[in-house]
Amino acid sequence: MTPEMKKHLEAVVVAIANEQSSDAKSEFSKYLRLKTQSILLGEEHDADEDDDKDDDDKDDKKPAFLKKKGDKDEDEKEDKDDDKDDKKDEDKDEDK
């Protein structure tokens, strides 16, 4: 989604929230025109894709059947490290 498309879509949401249906229709029409143009011209690019690839994605767990062998080993290693960290935290809490 291009910044211009995002701007129009945000304007639609604001117009709907303010119960301004004519403004919402107008902005949505502009958004659809840009979206259609980008699809027809093959310019479709998800600008949010870069934002989606955050460090938080590492915490997302894939179902076992979708994982490759390397992914499984890596996840098991991370789980063991997390367990060790949790145990250390528990030990610190008990000492207090």
Q: What domain count does the chain have?
A: 2
Statement to judge: residues 45 and 7 lie in one domain: yes
Statement to judge: residues 28 and 62 lie in one domain: no
Check: CB of residue 34 under 8 Å from CB of residue 5: yes
Statement to judge: residues 16 and 35 lie in one domain: yes
d(CA 96, CA 87): 15
Q: What is the mean pLDDT of residues 7-14?
A: 94
Local confidence band at 25 (pLDDT 50, 70, 90 cut-offs): very high
- Structural domain including 8 reads 3-49
Statement to judge: residues 10 and 42 lie in one domain: yes
The larger pLDDT score, comparing residue 66 to residue 26, is at 26
pLDDT of 93 reads 62
Statement to judge: residues 17 and 43 lie in one domain: yes
User: Structure pTM?
Assistant: 0.45
pLDDT of 8 reads 92
Distances in Å between the Cα of 90 and the Cα atoms of 26, 59, 83, 94 are 58, 22, 10, 6
**pLDDT digit string (tens) for 37-90?**
999 998 765 555 555 555 555 556 666 666 666 655 565 666 666 666 666 666
Statement to judge: residues 38 and 62 lie in one domain: no
